[in-house]
Structure 1
Amino acid sequence: MLFNSFIFLLAFLPVALALHALAERYRPDWRLPLLVLLSFVFYGWWDVRFVPLLLASIGLNWLVARAFLARPVAWLIPLAIGANLLILALFKYLNFFADLANLLPGAALPHLDWVLPLGISFFTFHHIMYLTDLRAGRAPAFGLTKYALYIAFFPQVLAGPLVRWSEIMHQFDERPYARADAMERIGRGILLLTVGLAKKVLLGDPLSVYVNPVFQAAAAGKVVTMAEAWQATLGFTFQIYFDFSGYTDMALGIALLFGLVLPQNFDVPYRSTSLRDFWRRWHMTLSRFLRDYLYIALGGNRRGLALQMAALFATMTLGGLWHGAGPTFVAWGAAHGLGLAAGVLWRKAGRTMPAVLGWALTLLFVMLTWVLFRATSFEAALAVFKGLFGLAPAGSAFKWRTIAIAAAVATLGPSAWAAVHKAPPSRTLAIAAAVLFVVVLLKIGDDANYEFIYFQF
């Protein structure tokens, strides 16, 4: 079920909250098992066939952790991490690697069109974070219930944020509704849920009308005019922001309703004045993961400039591959790796840049590389790039109003997290949130329900 669906908003979530409140009050020892059960019900709603995969993933990784603590064999954790990545590769990258192999003369590997289990990239990375920290002596042992909840907690199991065990495990032991700020947390959770839902439904989804037809035309080999190319590129720049940040706001808000604080994932990234600043603000938990568990492991900035450049490029290229099993995603990640490497060289040369120019160049770079992210092939991306750079007919009827509103909200306003936590409790705010929630529900009832973009990753 989607966060932006009636079945979730009007049935699953109210029932889950009611059951959680009853358990918290009368049987606190049932609270965590109940949340695990609710998480599996939520996950199984999509496709019950993948529930055994999630169960097995949790059980086997937990057993590996227990075995390592009982007997810390050096190869056990790397083997487990490799097995996790192998399973991810089998479901997500098998056809991608088959296509690469088929480039060799005489190779003719078939496609195995397996259905990609939702959230597999995210829960695989959660396993890797915990197992890596366990091997380094930073993580303790946890019971099966706590570990299962860490991996499968339903607000974040499908599309994050990527939560470190150290950020949430200690919260499982709390009595969330006995806290002095319990009602404040619930209020802020409702606000985050409402704002995130509005960002998705009122800002992100309408932009798809400006974006999808253009990229579909490019994929079909049609000429994309200059007006269409800029409309689609600008539209997707803000569509993906409101789609994914809206999901994250909802996830954080829902978690707060259950007494759990998840980490912030967006901090007005389109106000960044450098590419490094952008990745500190965009999908912040993924950026941390790539930095701490990949970039540093590859040497980071500790072994000379050449290795640092290579580590940046490899990290971002693999980050692009994580987003999608296609060459355009790899190219998108590689482009960001090159951009970050250029930024390192610029800073090491002692050069500076006016903030306004840095912002303009960063936003332009991010927008242009979004074309690679969105296009289904290099040919489709090239058709859009030709339009962007004036190598196609000028066209007409550039639809700018919705894009302009989205751009103003994304670049001028605060993040939802900051706004919700700075807003003082008031009756006016409560009424405004209730009215906004009703408006969004009416909009959901009128329009098609769009799946979240990051569900495909």
Structure 2
Amino acid sequence: MSAGAPNAWKVVRPPAMLFNSFVFLLAFLPAALVLHAAAERFRPDARLPLLVGLSLVFYGWWDWRFLPLLVASIGVNGWIARALPRRADGWLFPAALAGNLAVLAAFKYLGFLADLANLIPGMGLPHVDLVLPLGISFFTFHHIMYLTDLRAGRAPALGPTKYALYIAFFPQVLAGPLVRWSEIVHQFDERPYRRPDAAERIGRGLMLLVVGLSKKVFLGDPLAATVNPVFQAAAAGHAVTTAEAWQATLGFTFQIYFDFSGYTDMALGIALLFGIVLPQNFDVPYRATSLRDFWRRWHMTLSRFLRDYLYIPFGGNRRGVAMQVGALFATMTLGGLWHGAGLTFVAWGAAHGLGLGAGVLWRRAGARMPTFLGWTLTALFVVLTWVLFRATSFEAALAIYKGLLGLAEPGSGFKWRTILFAAAVAIVGPSAWAAIHRLPPNRWLAAAFAVLFVIVLLKIGDDANYEFIYFQF
């Protein structure tokens, strides 16, 4: 694999306990809810340790050999968190930061760095492809957020159980959302089933779970079937027609949205069942009228992480326009690298950094743009840059871009129905969180969601079950 050809889209792993799997929906989740309800009622002091235990079982189901990595990560960082306020010499925090990033780099970027080094004539380093532990990027960033805030005096000291739960809570450990300690830790001491709105929370949690499943199964996965063959053909060096290029590019635009936002809806819904409110991660991003607006709506928790822990430390908007544009470019380029060990991901992030920088210059010049034109240009930019995100090499991306620009055979058979329906839902419809909280609870609504859940289960049993896209990051 060359440095420009990441294998993130070809990862083969043992089966994880996916949210869209029978073992999770019909076995683990019901058992976990029963145990949690029993602990909450009869042994409230055992509730948090139980959630930690359930989270470790959930994580270890994928591959028990990586469970010690998660446990060791929690143990070492928990010890550092307890020692950090007592250390006056200042070396512990940078050592902890470097250690966390080194572990992430060893699993995620070792082969990529070797490939980059091999671009230098005569290097000849072996390529090493390690199995990427699920969720390592997410739980590493959770460690970094907490330790950074603790060092700055913003975060309180946490006991071992609460810290372990903050890092490993199973609805969010694999693919987020990226939860800041201040958004979740204060909820750990609540008695969730004694709240006056407990039944309503459970109902809305179940609805979010079903909606997220439906988005994944009925929209994300069918779009994958129209996207993957085209990008695979481009990766294999085959010519891509204009119809295929637009089908794959538009299809992936909505596939990744419904796949990732569907996962997030499920994560938020499952967390609600256990009395935990997680932050929203999507707010109808394809209605954005500027690139800055897009990143306030897309993967919102990652955007806040990049802003607070990279962009502001890089200087933010406090040191002049040149520094601000440079900080945006550096932040988004590193954000692209976080998504995948490949130069195409770096290029995707860099393109967004340049786009955000151009937006800063536009606003500083006092220029205005009609709303519809802003939406059109933003959508076009986002759609075109998704090609870099999805393609496995620059050569594959170029083949797609040639098709998009009409520099290939026109082709035929554009599968527009699924894409058009997905576009309508993504652009016109409200976010799942907003829609669920607007619906008044009643029996007919509950019955409708129960029927929808059964239909989803039948669909899962009938079709191929795709892994969530963000599990590979």
Unaligned 5+ runs, structure 1: none
What is the match of residue 397 of structure 1? 413
Does residue 1:382 correspond to 2:431, yes or no?
no
Please report how far the alpha carbon of residue 72 of structure 1 lies from its aligned counterpart in structure 2 after TM superposition: 3.8
The CA deviation at 1:111 is 1.1
Aligned to 2:57: 41
| Whole-angstrom distance in 1 between the partners of 2:88 and 2:327 | 29
Pick closer, same or farther for the CA change 1:173–1:375 going to 2, 3 Å.
same
> Paired residue for 1:310?
326
Matched, 1:229 2:229: no
How far apart, in 2, do the equivalents of 1:413 and 1:380 lie?
A: 33
Alignment of 1:31-110 (within 5 A): 31-110=47-126
- Measure, in 1, the Cα distance between the counterparts of 2:221 and 2:121: 44
- Looking at structure 1, the residues matched to 69 and 195 of structure 2 have their Cα atoms a distance apart, in angstroms, of 36
Match of 1:140 in 2: 156
Residue of structure 1 in register with 2:341 after alignment: 325
Q: 1:8 aligns with which of 19, 24, 28?
A: 24
Secondary structure of residue in 1 paired with 2:51: helix
Shift of 1:201: 0.4
Alignment-mate amino acid for residue 46 of structure 2: W
Q: Give, in whole Å, the separation in 1 of the partners of 2:437 and 2:253.
A: 26
- 1:263 corresponds, among 264, 270, 279, to 279
* Residues in 2 aligned to 1:75 and 1:296: alpha-carbon distance in whole angstroms: 22
CA–CA separation in structure 2 for the residues paired with 1:81 and 1:420: 39
Offset of 1:75 from its aligned partner?
Answer: 1.8
CA distance in 2, matches of 1:66, 1:306: 40
User: Given the alignment, which residue of 388, 391, 414 partners 1:372?
Assistant: 388
Q: Distance in 2 between matches of 1:338 and 1:430?
A: 47
CA distance in 2, matches of 1:86, 1:335: 26
Report how far residue 426 of structure 1 moved. 1.4
Deviates more, 1:103-112 or 1:278-287: 103-112
Superposed CA offset, 1:380-407 (max 9, x none):
0000000000000100111100111100
> Partner of 1:408: helix, strand, or coil?
helix
Aligned to 1:456: 472
TM-score, normalization by structure 2: 0.96
* One-letter amino acid of the counterpart of residue 134, structure 2: L
Q: Residue 197 of structure 1 aligns with which residue? A: 213
In the aligned structure 1, how far is the partner of 2:88 from the partner of 2:186? Answer: 24
For 1:290, the equivalent position in structure 2 comes to: 306
- Choose 418-427 or 4-13, whichever is displaced more: 418-427
Q: Give the 5 Å matches for 1:409-448.
A: 409-448=425-464
Give 3-state SS (helix, strand or coil) of 2:188's partner. helix
Task: Report the residue type matching 1:283 in the other structure.
Answer: H
The Cα shift of 1:177 comes to: 0.4
CA–CA distance in 2 between the matches of 1:21 and 1:381?
50
CA drift at 1:438: 0.7
For residue 148 of structure 1, report the CA deviation from its aligned partner: 0.2
Q: What residue in structure 2 maps to residue 119 of structure 1? A: 135
Could you tell me the TM-score, scaled by structure 1's length? 0.99
Root-mean-square deviation over aligned CA pairs: 0.6
Displacement after TM superposition at 1:455 (Å): 0.4
Cα distance in 1 for partners of 2:413, 2:259 equals 25
1:57-109 C-alpha deviation (Å, 9 max, x unpaired): 00000101111123343121111011000100000001111111111121011
Quick one: distance in 1 between partners of 2:224 and 2:176? 22
Task: Please tell me whether residue 165 in structure 1 is matched to residue 165 in structure 2.
Answer: no
**In structure 2, what is the equivalent of residue 208 of structure 1?**
224
Unmatched tracts of structure 2, length 5 or more: 1-16
Task: Name the aligned partner's letter for residue 220 of structure 2.
Answer: G
- The alpha carbon displacement at 1:140 in A equals 1.0
Mapped to 1, the partners of 2:401 and 2:238 lie a distance apart of 13
Q: Percent identity?
A: 81
Give the one of 357, 362, 382 matched to 1:346: 362
Q: Please tell me the residue identity of whatever aligns with 1:371.
A: V
Q: Distance in 1 between matches of 2:279 and 2:129?
A: 35
Amino acid at match of 2:316: G
